[in-house]
Amino acid sequence: MKKTRKLHASHINMSHGSGGKAMRDLIEDLFVSCFNNPQLNALEDQARFDLQSLQQYGERLAFTTDSYVVDPLFFPGGNIGTLAVNGTINDLAVSGAKPLYLSCGMIIEEGMPVSELREIVQSMKAAADVAGVQIVTGDTKVVPHGKGDKLFINTTGIGVIPQGIEISASRSKVGDKVIVNGYIGDHGAAILNARGDLALDVALETDCQPLHELMSVMLAACPDLHAVRDASRGGVATVLNEFAESASVSIRLEESCIPVRNTVRGVCEILGLDALHFANEGKLVATVPADSAEALLNAMQSHPAGREAAIIGEVVEGPAGRVVIKTGFGGERILDMLVGEQLPRIC
Amino acid sequence: MKFVDEFRDPDMAKSLLDKINQIVKEIPRCQQRPLQIMEVCGGHTHSIFRYGLEQLLPKEIELVHGPGCPVCVLPMGRVDDCLAIAEQPNVIFTTFGDAMRVPGSKKSLLQAKAGGADIRMVYSPMDALQLAKKNPDKKVVFFGLGFETTMPSTALTLLQAKKEGVSNFYLFCNHITIIPTIKAILDSPDMTIDGFLGPGHVSMIIGQKPYEFISRHYQRPLVIAGFEPLDILQSLYMLLVQIRDERAEIENQYTRLVPESGNRQALQAVSEVFELREFFEWRGLGSIDHSGVQIRQSFAQYDAERHFIVPNLTIADPKACQCGEVLKGAIKPWQCKVFGKECTPETPLGALMVSTEGSCSAYYAYGKIDVDNL
């Protein structure tokens, strides 16, 4: 048997991206030995799939890509690696697809400690195992110091959509209920706090988790889910605005029904920000037929990823693309997409 | 959430609203025209929209959104001065977040940052001082902005810098004071305000006394108000009781935070570091005498205006902008010619569209329901 090459450097340098021996050391010792599956171990330029083996899951492929540039790389509850795996899995899952394969492209800044890179790669493997997906192809580039920000990861995912599922933002109908699968804003608040500028002494963790199992549970309870999206950047507010625009409907939310942790509310209160605009990494928003909403909610709450699921509003008649939120006071305000960056208020 | 939810209780709000609805019936003159109540502070404006309070009030009350948003009243020329400093070599320019988007005559700080200037967002001037200590080979400039609320923390930072002998820290001082501005509004010929909600956090520093001229010389009532929805409703009710009883007094609703004589230590720090400017330019309102502060001679080494060469030009607002009229309550945000057309939160022309505390931005984000029905 061929001996696996060993990576001896303590920090990544330009030679690890040069295509030579150092790069082979990095790929074999770090990526191949960790991700470890027949497709990747073959060290071909591409992964190859037997189409028939895919067809057992359904007849349509779902295909998605996402790049991860989070700063800091490590934060409470996860790191850029867990994000890169779960994020792409979730983009597949919300179509109803069974996620199967991922690619992994890494752009590493010269000087990155190998120990940190190893930890991230191991987290990716762990996350992929939990979700039952394989990382079957990859690419590594190294950029000079100052030309990147430690590490960027791109993952592309392939999944298969079972027959009879037709989830689309455009399918939201007047009368539909709007459901989220739990506390919103955890990831955004955790990242803000992990940057350290605020020095808040609070327990805030990312909600990073795969959603494909929860989606299976949801589809079993309600095969006719209308629209589902995972509420990552831009938060729940952005997804709902997309739904309303795409289906030419209005959406009305009930503020008191939206699950937000007290710690996250606290961060929002201090900075004058809105949890509905905070990023999530394990939260989906769905519009579902009203008559199956309660049963669906019960099913979701039986799964760990949906324990705090809640109905937060409904699709209503009104101007296309409008999302309105009813405050605890009975007043109403528009919930728009985020404009620019979230910037904290002065005072 | 403790100490927050108590002040957002819908049942209590309802009973306050009932009382408000009742008392307006006892004020005959509001049957001819609505009572105009100005909330001076941008924090109040934000809460009013955030909780949809305006829609819950009877038609006899019209809220006028005042000048108390420091980002909104920052003139373009000062933003240009910031950029001139920030774009010099070896400078780290630090600022509060929501000042990043304010448009200068050519660009905003956010755009300058994208263009390569080292501009960083901080949460406190002390963070900027830390940055100076960590980067002794750089000049770190803090963009001091805000009313009496933020002035003490800037003053304390300069005192700290002096104590520690930090020599690469500078303050670009744009702090302003609220009292001369209220006076300017009261003196303006088109003034029709019947009463004021006083700024809670400013008052926490300056106390109650500085407002007395409002009741004495202008016979208008003012109630210092907190920022939660119940605070605002209760303060409105207190104002209405005064108006019904034909009183004009300074009252304090926000007693849990505002002591009658303010915060002596904070005021001490402020007067040690700052002195009144002869005048300061306000966006939309023009030049107002003694409405800003500058760094005293004894702290001159920290003064960015003395250290750096800044253009210091007065740049006229875009002609179509009606920020001034909105600030004085002469027109509503949506009555401005460019509101929601050329001027939106994505491409703000006037500063009132920039900060979430600006009344135009608040109307745009939260109030579209009314606008569309016009």
What residues pair up with B289 in beta bridges, in sequence order? B279
User: Where in chain A are all domains bearing CATH 3.90.650.10?
Assistant: 169-334
Residue B121 and residue B225 in one domain? no
One-letter amino acid for residue B358 of the chain: G
Q: How many CA atoms lie within 13 A of A231 on its CB side?
A: 32
Q: Is residue B129, in this structure, part of any structural domain at all?
A: yes
Taking CB atoms and an 8 Å cutoff, what residues of chain B touch A250? none
Within this chain, do residues B167 and B188 fall inside the same structural domain, yes or no?
Answer: no
Instruction: Please compute Rg for chain B using Cα positions.
Output: 21
B81 in the same domain as B174 = yes
Identify the CATH number of the domain in which residue B142 sits: 3.40.50.11740
Residue B371's pLDDT is what? 43
Residue B198 lies in a domain: yes
- What values do phi and psi take at A314, rounded to 5? -150, 160
**Would you give the DSSP letter of residue A73?**
S
> Residue A263 pLDDT > 60, yes or no?
yes
CB contact under 8 A, B345 and A265: no
- CA of A321 vs chain B CAs: smallest distance (Å): 13
Which tokens hold the place of A108? 């590493």
User: Do B111 and B159 sit in the same domain of this protein?
Assistant: yes
pLDDT at A347: 56
Reported pTM: 0.88
Please judge whether B52 and A327 are an interchain contact, meaning their C-beta atoms are less than 8 angstroms apart.
Answer: yes
State how far residue A303 is from chain B, nearest Cα, in angstroms: 27
In the listed set B252, B285, B317, which residue is the last one of a domain according to the structure? B252
Nearest residue to B94 (alpha-carbon basis) of B107, B113, B78, B77: B113
pLDDT at B374: 37
Q: B52 and A262: CB-CB below 8 Å? A: no
Residues of B in contact with A333 (CB under 8 A): 49-52, 365-367
B52 touches chain A (CB under 8 A): yes
> What CATH number labels A169-334?
3.90.650.10
pLDDT tops 90 at residue B52: no
Domain-located, residue B51: yes
Share of chain B above pLDDT 70, in %: 97
> Is B50 in Cβ contact with A327 (below 8 Å)?
yes
Question: Do B36 and B163 share a domain, yes or no?
Answer: no
> Which residues from chain B sit within 8 angstroms of residue A347, using beta carbons?
43, 70, 146-147, 149-150, 201
User: In A, which residues are within 8 Å of B355 by CB distance?
Assistant: 345-346
pLDDT at B82 over 80: yes
pLDDT digits (tens, 9 = 90+) for A44-62: 999 999 999 999 999 999 9
Could you tell me if residue B189 is inside a domain?
Answer: yes
A270: closest CA of chain B, how far (Å): 11
* Mean pLDDT for chain A overall: 94
ipTM for the complex? 0.81
Does residue B10 form part of some domain? no
On whether the CB atoms of residues A108 and A17 are closer than 8 A, the answer is yes
> Which of B71, B100, B356, B372 should we substitute to test contact with A (largest number of A Cβ atoms within 10 Å)?
B356
Q: Are A149 and A106 in contact (CB under 8 A)?
A: no
Query: B residues 193-252 near A, CB within 8 Å?
Result: 201, 229
| Within-domain flag for B331 | no
Segment A294-298 mean pLDDT: 98
What is the overall mean pLDDT for chain B? 91
pLDDT for the residue numbered B373: 44
Contact B13 A329 (CB under 8 A): yes
Helix (H, G, I), strand (E, B) or coil at A240: helix
Minimal C-alpha gap between B346 and chain A (Å) = 6
Q: For residues B291 and B184, state if they share a domain.
A: no
Percent share of chain A, pLDDT over 70:
97
Query: Which pLDDT score, from 0 to 100, does residue B367 have?
Result: 61
Q: How far is CA B100 from CA A169, B41, B151, B154, B161, in A?
A: 34, 20, 19, 18, 25
Average pLDDT on A32-47 reads 93
Mean pLDDT calculated for residue range A178-199: 91
Please give the tally of structural domains in chain B. Answer: 2
Are B158 and B297 found together in one domain?
yes
| B172-228 pLDDT per residue, tens | 999 999 999 999 889 988 788 999 999 999 999 999 999 999 999 999 999 999 999
CA distance A138 to chain B (A): 31
- Which CATH architecture group holds A14-161? 2-Layer Sandwich (3.30)
Range of the domain at B154: 76-178+262-307
The pLDDT value recorded for residue B102 is 85
Q: Do both B90 and B133 map to the same domain?
A: yes
Nearest to A43 by CA among A53, A52, A51, A33: A33
The answer on pLDDT for B372 being more than 50 is no
Which tokens sit at A146?
Answer: 């100052």
Quick check: A345 and B346 CB within 8 A?
A: no
In A, minimum Cα distance to B373 occurs at: A319
Q: Based on the domain organization, do B191 and B291 belong to the same domain?
A: no
Residues of A in contact with B201 (CB under 8 A): 347
CA distance, residue A43 to nearest chain B CA (Å):
40
Q: Is residue B66 over pLDDT 90?
A: no
pLDDT digits (tens, 9 = 90+) for A312-332: 999 999 999 999 999 887 788
Calculate what percentage of chain B has a pLDDT beyond 90. 67
Contacts for B289 with CB less than 8 Å, ≥ 6 apart:
B180, B278, B279
For chain A, residues classed under CATH 3.30.1330.10 are 14-161
**Band of pLDDT at residue B272, cut at 50, 70 and 90:** very high
Mean pLDDT to the nearest integer, B26-51? 91
pLDDT, tens digit (0-9, with 9 covering 90-100), for B301-327: 999 999 999 888 888 878 888 888 887
Q: Measured between CB atoms, does A196 come within 8 Å of chain B?
A: no
CATH number at residue B47: 3.40.50.11750
